[in-house]
Structure 1
């Protein structure tokens, strides 16, 4: 079966630990993929501007699923958005108060072109990083200050992420989708949001069958996407949960061009 779409997560999958990637090798992959009528899709929990920063030398050569599937951008145009139910904002903010001592900085509320944060555990180093990571970050005191649709609520809770996820699911039920990208990072999104649904939207738009799609991931927020495609690949450095599934394994980890080297072996 030929490959018409290749989707890849970024952190700990496509990107190396220092957030770089092998640009000449990526260009080689893109040229080969485009020559056979295929396309590359970045499928990430990152927001749009952060992805554009990473791929500034590849403008117009990839499609984008951002914020874990809450946004789909095709040919540079925002095509689809799924937002978090408004009532979930205060619920997650209040729940985070129970975990303040373990929380890394605070709770972030990501909109389409900006982000808001309620700081609960002040840390100048983390705050400085947050301002570089989130697009147009505004520090707020209350969710009442947010007046636009939120695509994703994010927080980092090392060692306690699964406990927080269980409590969030218990309180909000099927009103939201709660997932982790690993390393303590938790994302709360619209219940219809995951990378699989976003990828399915792209596939249907482009009239491509799941069997013609290859996907790479390392975390539980990649699971639905890997289950959806016909050619799923888990990274050698993936969450142990992914190895319980019948996925192919990359030829190397993220620090050794695992995604790009695997693609070149398979297409």
Structure 2
């Protein structure tokens, strides 16, 4: 079966634990894929600027699904955005206050080109990380200061993420899609947002069938995408929950070029 699109999650999938990847091997993969008329898609919970930073040496050679599917960038252009409804940021902000003792730093509200954050527990170390992670981060005191569509609300709640997720579902129901990428990190997005719907949008735009798509993931926020494609691959270092599905396994884990080696074997 020919492969026209290959989509891969980043953290703990494509990227090594130190956030690097084998650039020489990736170029080899891209050259082979492009020679067959195929395309590579980065499909991540990360925001656009972060992805561009990781792939600065590969500009123009990949497509992008960012913020867990809230944004699609095709050929360098933002072609699709799914924002959360207007009442969501305030609801999440007040829920977060209940979990304040567990909350790492605060609540971030991610827009297309910037992010806003309300700090609940100050930590110089976490704040320095957040400023590095979010380009154009503005610290605010209230959600009333936000004046543009929000694509994603994010917070880190180690050890109590599932309690918080349940509560979000109780309060907001089907107004949002709540997902975790593990490690206590929670993303709240538009209910139609997941990597699968974004990938489907790209596939339909490029006239590609699900059977002609291969995808890699390691976490529950990759599940819909893996179920959508005809050639799903779970990383050997995946969340146990993914192993309950009938997905192929990668040749190696993320620290040993698992995605790239598996693709090269297939191509």
Instruction: Compute the TM-score of the two structures, normalised by the length of structure 2.
Output: 0.99
Q: Partner residue of 2:49?
A: 49
Does 1:233 pair with 2:250?
A: no
Q: Partner residue of 1:84?
A: 84
Cα deviations across residues 132-173 of structure 1 (Å, max 9, x unaligned)? 101200010110000000000000111111111010011100
What is the distance in 1 between the residues matched to 2:238 and 2:100? 28
Q: Partner residue of 1:243?
A: 243
Cα deviations across residues 71-97 of structure 1 (Å, max 9, x unaligned)? 000000110000011101111101111
Question: How large is the RMSD of aligned CA atoms in angstroms?
Answer: 0.5
- Where does structure 1 lack aligned partners over 5 or more consecutive residues? none
Q: How far is 1:98 from its partner?
A: 1.0
- Where does structure 2 lack aligned partners over 5 or more consecutive residues? none
Q: Partner residue of 2:199?
A: 199
Cα deviations across residues 199-220 of structure 1 (Å, max 9, x unaligned)? 0000000000000000000111
Does 1:160 pair with 2:160?
A: yes
Q: Partner residue of 1:222?
A: 222
Q: How far is 1:239 from its partner?
A: 0.7
Cα deviations across residues 225-250 of structure 1 (Å, max 9, x unaligned)? 00000000111111111111000111
Q: Partner residue of 1:116?
A: 116
Q: Partner residue of 1:75?
A: 75
Does 1:169 pair with 2:169?
A: yes
Give the number of aligned pairs.
267
Q: How far is 1:266 from its partner?
A: 1.3
What is the distance in 2 between the residues matched to 1:67 and 1:8? 14
Three-state SS of the structure 1 residue aligned to 2:186 is: strand
Q: How far is 1:180 from its partner?
A: 0.6
Q: Partner residue of 1:101?
A: 101
What is the distance in 1 between the residues matched to 2:126 and 2:217? 26
What is the distance in 1 between the residues matched to 2:11 and 2:103? 20
Three-state SS of the structure 1 residue aligned to 2:7 is: strand
Q: Partner residue of 1:3?
A: 3
Q: How far is 1:265 from its partner?
A: 1.0
What is the distance in 2 between the residues matched to 1:13 and 1:100? 31
Three-state SS of the structure 1 residue aligned to 2:31 is: helix
Three-state SS of the structure 2 residue aligned to 1:178 is: strand
